[in-house]
Amino acid sequence: MKIQLFVSPGGYIAERWSKGSLAPPLGLLYIAAVLEKEGYEVSVVPTDILKWGWGQVRREIQDFKPDLIGVTSNTENRFQSFKLIRLAKKALPQALTILGGPHASMASKDCLEHISELDIVVRGEGETTMLELCRSLDKEKDRSSLESVGGISFRFDGQIKTNPPRDPIPDLDSLPFPALHLIPFEKYNFTLEVPGHGKLPAASIISSRGCPFNCNFCATPVNWGRNVRMRSAQNIVSEIESLIQEYGVRVIFFFDDTFNVNPRRVEEICDLIIERGLNIFWKCDVKIDGIDKPLLSKMKKAGLFHLSFGLEAGSERVRNEVINKKINIDDFHHLIQWCHEMDIIPNPFFIFSHPTETWEEAQETIEIIEHYKNKIEASVAVLHIYPGTSLEHTAKECGLFPHNFTWAKKYHSKIITLPEAQGDVPLFQEKLTWAQISELLFRWSQSSGKISIFPKIPRTILKTRSWGDIKRYSIMAYVYLRLKVRGFFKKKTFESFKNN
């Protein structure tokens, strides 16, 4: 059996990957490594990094002649993934089409109901599921054999069937390292800027799966489980050594939702990095209240230079009662102070427009960002709605989604998106007006001093889809000009006061 796994043209759409430096698709590469280890012929086709058009994708499928065609998807790039599934079925009708990744996992029934060319959805972790799926088809040569495969939904005799979920993989050390040899690694040009050292070759590592927390907007606990499974420190550092030796990597991006779920394991990783003299730099995402100053100091000694953490909202009510973040603001301020003392870049995450969030509460968030102007690398977004989350349920209750909403169709007039900046994901807007949201975004932009809206204007105009879009962009333009005029007169008044 031959398996072909695709990243669709356009790739993962996110602001941080828009600068020409991309990370390899670890999910697909883990699956490929498991299948290859079992003797299957696997091809991984990252059409985004290859810069292929749809005609080249079709030719690749027809030349390779796979039995199974798998496509990864997230909510931001789902429409490109859907298009690739449709193209694959037309290019090679006898092949089975499979959709996986976060979006397909959370909206499997919706995908199968609206994409007739789609045969199977793999829900959650794909390694064991894909291996069992291949073995079943190898043995029976018939779709009826899929009824025994846990963790999939599929089409059979005109019906959509949903098999029971698969238990998460308990021992992540049992998985082979991602099959980086199946992709043109050098084309990714994945680099990260390290202060004092410039841009260095980088690689991402997933050292754990799952999240024990319950933020209302996050799909991770639903997709990968609340029980966090962690690779051993020895296994992780062995992968780091492999990346250094085989690919010249100097920077590691730990792509975990919460790297410090187990502080003791973090210490063990740091100790091994130091003992082996690996001389690397690294960054990770942590939960604010799961880290103390001695641990942070050891992380710095082991090469940490950039630390991300989510505060999400300045309002204690919104943060703890709406989001379920359960974070004390004092812990946030302490962590930023420690980062500055140790010369670590603090990268807090903030989100605007939470359910029931008032303008006064949103001001608490932007005031924190402005308070730390030039002292933090703030990441900001308007609240995204993802399938399968409690926020999706809230959005339906609030009437933000029409009764006939489907994730598989574009451009419903009631759905608000900012595809150029935020990907093609519905945005949550309830209490705040669009003018207020726009002001918050522009004030963040001004406080960071790094983000310019002008390069985005032509692309934004090209992606305008409705009168609703025109209205929202007009409001944003008005708010932007108003803030500029206000800033101009404040500056003039200050200069006049200073001169007199």
Residues 148 and 194 both lie in one domain: no
Nearest to 429 by CA among 411, 409, 414: 414
Give, rounded to a whole angstrom, the gap between the first and last alpha carbons of the chain. Answer: 82
Residues 77 and 214 both lie in one domain: no
Q: For residue 191, which amino acid is it?
A: T
Residues 132 and 216 both lie in one domain: no
The domain that contains 286 carries what CATH number? Answer: 3.20.20.70
Q: What is the pLDDT of residue 33?
A: 98
Please, where are the H alpha helices in 262-405? 263-275, 293-301, 316-317, 329-341, 359-371, 390-397
Domain C-terminal end among 142, 162, 182: 162
Distance CA(153)–CA(466), nearest Å, equals 35
Element (H, E) at 198: strand 198-205
172 falls within a domain: no
Residues 92 and 198 both lie in one domain: no
478 falls within a domain: no
Q: What is the pLDDT of residue 498?
A: 47
175 falls within a domain: no
Distance CA(126)–CA(7), nearest Å, equals 15
Within 10 Å of residue 65's Cβ, how many Cβ atoms? 12
Within 10 Å of residue 375's Cβ, how many Cβ atoms? 12
The predicted model scores a pTM of 0.92
- Torsion 208-305-450-328 (CA) sign: positive
Cβ burial 395-426 (10 Å sphere, 16+ → b, else e)? beeeebbeeebebbeeeeeebbbbbbbbbbbb
Cα 397 to chain center, whole Å?
A: 26
Nearest to 21 by CA among 194, 185, 252, 192: 192
Residues 256 and 359 both lie in one domain: yes
Residues 28 and 129 both lie in one domain: yes
64 falls within a domain: yes
| CB of 70 closer than 8 Å to CB of 134 | no
397 falls within a domain: no
Residues 48 and 126 both lie in one domain: yes
Distance CA(61)–CA(39), nearest Å, equals 20
Element (H, E) at 233: helix 233-247
138 falls within a domain: yes
Nearest to 153 by CA among 126, 128, 119: 119
Q: What is the pLDDT of residue 484?
A: 79
Residues 136 and 280 both lie in one domain: no
The domain that contains 76 carries what CATH number? Answer: 3.40.50.280
Within 10 Å of residue 116's Cβ, how many Cβ atoms? 11
Residues 41 and 98 both lie in one domain: yes
Residues 229 and 136 both lie in one domain: no
Nearest to 102 by CA among 128, 83, 121: 121
Tally of domains within the chain = 2
Q: Sort 500 into a burial class: Cβ within 10 Å, 0-12 / 13-18 / 19+.
A: exposed
User: Which residues are paired to 209 by β-bridges?
Assistant: 229
Cα 307 to chain center, whole Å?
A: 17
Domain extent, residue 149, equals: 2-162
Residues 112 and 261 both lie in one domain: no
Nearest to 257 by CA among 233, 289, 280, 285: 285
370 falls within a domain: yes
| CB of 104 closer than 8 Å to CB of 120 | no
Tens place of pLDDT per residue across the chain (500 aa)? 999 999 998 766 554 445 556 889 999 999 999 999 999 999 999 999 999 999 999 999 999 999 999 999 999 889 999 999 999 999 999 999 999 999 999 999 999 999 999 999 999 999 999 999 999 998 876 777 899 999 999 998 889 999 999 999 999 999 999 999 999 999 998 999 999 999 999 999 999 998 888 889 988 877 777 789 999 999 999 999 999 999 999 999 999 999 999 999 999 999 999 999 999 999 999 999 899 999 999 999 999 999 999 999 999 999 999 999 889 999 999 999 999 999 999 999 999 999 999 999 999 999 999 999 989 999 999 999 999 999 999 999 999 998 889 999 987 777 888 776 667 899 999 999 999 999 999 999 888 765 555 555 555 666 666 667 778 888 888 888 888 787 655 554 444 444 44
457 falls within a domain: no
**Count of all residues that appear for the chain in the document:** 500
Q: For residue 230, which amino acid is it?
A: M
Distance CA(78)–CA(215), nearest Å, equals 23
Nearest to 76 by CA among 419, 380, 389, 408: 419
Residues 233 and 367 both lie in one domain: yes
Q: What is the pLDDT of residue 226?
A: 78
Domain C-terminal end among 355, 390, 425: 390
Q: What is the pLDDT of residue 22?
A: 81
Domain C-terminal end among 390, 418, 453: 390
